[in-house]
Amino acid sequence: MRAVVQRVTSASVTVDNEVVSSIGRGLLVLVGIGSDDGPSDVESIAKKILSLRMWPDIAKNTQWKANVKDITGEVLCVSQFTLMARTDKGKPDFHRAMAPESSKAMYATVLERLGAMYDASRVKDGKFGAMMSVGLENDGPVTFTLDSRKFEYSPPGPGAGTSSKQAD
What φ, ψ does residue 114 adopt, rounded to 5°? -60, -45
Nearest to 88 by CA among 31, 154, 133: 154
In angstroms, the Cα distances linking 88 to 92, 93, 94, 139 are 8, 9, 12, 31
How does DSSP classify residue 10?
E
Give me the catalytic one of 80, 128, 143, 162: 80
- Is 63 in the active site? no
Please confirm, yes or no, whether 80 is among the known catalytic residues: yes
Q: Among residues 9, 62, 63, 82, which one is catalytic?
A: 82
Active-site residue 6, yes or no? no
C-alpha 96: how far from chain center: 16
| Catalytic sites, residue numbers | 80-82
